[in-house]
Structure 1
């Protein structure tokens, strides 16, 4: 199956869960690659985004990005940007729209993202 920008990351959310959607076509393509390389870890990350996208307290593998990466703009509005460490180097970056109970999967990094070094 092929996914595109703004498509939901299936299946649809259950009661009280967040709707997880692709923010970019690149994120959709990266998600497909991640699922091929580390399907179990991708599933665990998907469950976190769906049920607990902003853990308090943060964990070593699931936290809000820092500094200039702590927020990102989507459709003219700034949102907090979070990260899940999916593999030793792999990361998911997503924007959290709490008002709409939506997670926008923005970037999928199979290897460690250079932006955070």
Structure 2
């Protein structure tokens, strides 16, 4: 069975944690590739999304996107988009849904997204 849009990134969240759900089939494929190529870095990104997806003190490696990429619409709601720099070029982008305690995984890639250049 292949993962796709709407499927959770396993395992389910524990007490006080955020759910992580794939926003697209492409994100699911990218996440699988990140986990295969850089499992330690992918695991750290997963932990950040699960426990502190929108830190009060963003860092160079974990921060909200800016300008036209700062928000995206998901299920009719405008949500902030955050980025975790997983490797030098690898990125994870997710829509942060505080109300539903969910991170919608929008992009997972070993390469730097050209949209930010």
Q: TM-score range by the shorter chain?
A: over 0.9
Q: Deviations over 1:26-60 (max 9, x none)?
A: 00000001111100000000000000000111011
Superposition map of 1:17-36 within 5 A: 17-36=17-36
Q: Unpaired runs of 5+ in structure 1?
A: none
Report the 3-state secondary structure (helix = DSSP H, G, I; strand = E; otherwise coil) of the residue aligned with 2:49.
helix
Give TM-score, length-normalised by structure 1: 0.97
Query: How far apart are the structure 2 equivalents of 1:56 and 1:77?
Result: 22
Give TM-score, length-normalised by structure 2: 0.97
Q: How many residues align?
A: 117
Q: Unpaired runs of 5+ in structure 2?
A: none
Query: How far apart are the structure 1 equivalents of 2:33 and 2:116?
Result: 21
Query: How far apart are the structure 2 equivalents of 1:57 and 1:46?
Result: 18
Report the 3-state secondary structure (helix = DSSP H, G, I; strand = E; otherwise coil) of the residue aligned with 1:84.
strand
CA RMSD of aligned residues (A): 0.8
Structure 1 equivalent of residue 44 of structure 2: 44
Query: How far apart are the structure 1 equivalents of 2:73 and 2:110?
Result: 23
